[in-house]
Homo-oligomer: A and B are copies of this chain.
Amino acid sequence: MSRHRKKERKHPLTNINTTKDKILEVAIDLFSHKGYSGVSIREITREVGIKESSLYNHFKNKDEIITTIFELFRNEFAKTLPPTELLEDILKNSTIQQFFEKGFENFKEHIDHPKNEKLWRIIYIEHYRNSIARELFLNDIIKNTLSFLEIVFEILIMQKKIKPLRPSLLAAEYQYPMFSMLAEYNMLRFDQKDTSEIENKMKEHVEFFLDTVRVDESTQK
């Protein structure tokens, strides 16, 4: 496999080719530990191996660094949800267990990626100080995910796989526990503590939720 041009990189943060990428990588690492105001330009450039003044060839100021990081997060997170157009097909060809287990796996893969993990932490740390982070949280994370799930449940209800409850209620009941369990998961990983308990809770939640809302076709228990 030969090395390709920038445009063809798989993950925008996995291959570091340019100084700008390197700055971003270091900034993400430092911000995710100490927060934006806890990290200085000096610290970033020292770690990158350039002088402070050189950084300003790539970013006009400190704020532009974190703004770029937020944009990066937005793009990465958007990839975790499959396009709505494909949904009906996907749902037709899988059981609801398969669908939610697959979705959970996808998401876990996303959040387990070291860079994404750090991006999430930055959002958590900055979401009160920085209004872009806050909007990202409220719109891109919460709202988009819930809207996506609403559509999922609408379809599943039409397909008679799920009890005819209000889709927005179902979406909330499924997703809100996930948000806080994921936050806890990320916190535990930060301290390199054992995550098996919270991972189990996530799986149990999916099971319990599906058991609660599923229309059981075979046994009609």
Contacts and interface: CB of A to CB of B under 8 A. Distances in A.
Contact of A37 (B37, B131, B183): B37
Interface residues of A, number: 37
Nearest 6 pairs between A and B by C-beta?
A176-B177, A179-B180, A37-B38, A180-B180, A37-B37, A176-B180
B169 A204 contact: yes
A142 interface: yes
A164 interface: no
Contact of A134 (B177, B187, B201): B187
Q: Is the interface of A mostly helix, strand, loop or mixed?
A: helix
A179 B208 CA distance: 18
A205 to B, nearest CB: 7
Contact of A121 (B38, B128, B201): B128
A129 B212 CA distance: 39
Interface string A54-97: 00000000000000000000000000000000000000000000
A172 B187 CA distance: 17
Given A180-B179, A190-B134, A128 B173 contact: no
A205 B209 CA distance: 13
Contacts of A124: 124, 127-128
Contacts of A137: 187
Contact of A125 (B129, B169, B190, B201): B129
